[in-house]
């Protein structure tokens, strides 16, 4: 899983299906959503880095995580270096901003403009899209 590289990671749908849990596959490769308050990182408080479950790309640091009481892990900032890409999402009769991994296009969640200072952003991310590396 080349952890330190910015190289694109591309796999076939079948390769992703075999590499990921059924829930992670559904969320990351087909823009699914885990049930609110069900993910392992909702109440997670350890210090470290959250990575993309699909390719290992570093996405969020624990010091940007906050309790948004929305049912999903929330961060006010992604790591620098364009590690996440924002896309307009008009599914489900709403206009939202989808967040995907810049390296493998995994669906991570959505970003909203109702977060805390200093950014005012709330990256609302599915736990199954993430792995965690303690520091």
pTM: 0.93
pLDDT confidence bin for 81, thresholds 50/70/90: confident
Domain-embedded: residue 127: yes
Q: Which residue has the tokens 């990351």?
A: 28
> Is 104 one of the catalytic residues?
no
The CATH number that applies at residue 119 is 2.170.150.20
- Cα(2)–Cα(5) distance, rounded to whole angstroms? 6
Report the number of distinct structural domains present in the chain.
1
Q: Which domain holds residue 86?
A: 13-134
- Cα(43)–Cα(39) distance, rounded to whole angstroms? 9
What does 88-134 look like in DSSP terms, one character per residue? EE-GGG--EEEEEETTT--EEEEEES---TTT--EEEE-GGGEEEEE
Domain-embedded: residue 4: no
Domain-embedded: residue 120: yes
Domain-embedded: residue 7: no
**Choosing from 52, 101, 104, 124, which is the catalytic residue?**
124
With 60 as the cut, is the pLDDT of residue 7 above it? yes
> Residue 3 has what pLDDT?
47
> Residue 64 has what pLDDT?
97
């Amino acid at each position: 899983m080349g952890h330190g590289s910015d190289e694109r990671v591309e796999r076939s749908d079948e390769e992703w299906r075999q590499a990921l849990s059924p829930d992670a596959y559904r969320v990351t490769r087909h823009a699914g959503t885990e049930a609110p308050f069900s993910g392992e990182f909702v109440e997670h408080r350890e210090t470290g880095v959250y990575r993309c479950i699909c390719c290992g790309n570093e996405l969020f640091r624990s010091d940007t995580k906050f309790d948004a009481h929305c049912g999903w892990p929330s961060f006010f900032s992604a790591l620098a270096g364009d590690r996440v890409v924002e896309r307009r999402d008009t599914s489900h009769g709403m206009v939202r901003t989808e967040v995907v991994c810049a390296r493998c296009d995994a669906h991570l969640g959505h970003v909203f403009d109702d977060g805390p200072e200093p950014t005012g952003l709330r990256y609302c991310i599915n736990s199954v899209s993430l792995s965690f590396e303690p520091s």
